[in-house]
Amino acid sequence: MLQKIIKTNFSSRGGRFAIVASKYNSRYVDAMLRAAKAEILRAGGTVKIIRVPGAYEIPVVAAKLAHQSTADSKISAIICLGVILRGATTHAQHIGEAVSNALAQIQIQHEVPVIHEVLLLENEQQARERCLDKKHNRGTEAAQTALEMARVMKSLRG
């Protein structure tokens, strides 16, 4: 069941965020991207947006961003956005699993939060509900998670 988004009051003055977003299924991804960007900017953070052809290409860019993140120019979090719709074959499942595994490894290896909103969905109805509906937009949720994780990681650094 989808939960309604609750507005948070996270502040991220000086926070640097990257969003890696797929061009594939752009109608849905673009809506998540707009919502995520707006939420980060509302909190006072800055956003760098990188577009890639499809969901499968997201991890390599996320890894490069995490690798380039240094103490001087630390990325607060990387938000990964994509929509994979199941078809008649198992291709979508393979892509979804590969992306999930890669994103988990990137955040562990580089100690940079990687927010996984590469959605593996059954149909366009689910995509509309999760991406186009403002009450349930997963882009907003991804940004809120990124803001919270940035705060957690900052507190751990001391």
Full set of structural domains in the chain with CATH: 19-157 (3.40.50.960)
Q: What is the pLDDT of residues 107-129, one digit of tens each?
A: 999 999 999 999 999 999 999 99
Question: What residues are annotated to the active site?
Answer: 91
**CA neighbor of 23 nearest in space, from 85, 81, 91:** 81
What strands lie across the sheet with 114-121, from one edge to the other? Answer: 46-52, 16-22, 77-85, 114-121
Q: What is the pLDDT of residues 129-146, one digit of tens each?
A: 999 988 889 999 999 999
pTM to 2 decimals?
0.91
Q: How far apart are CA 121 and CA 130, in angstroms?
A: 10
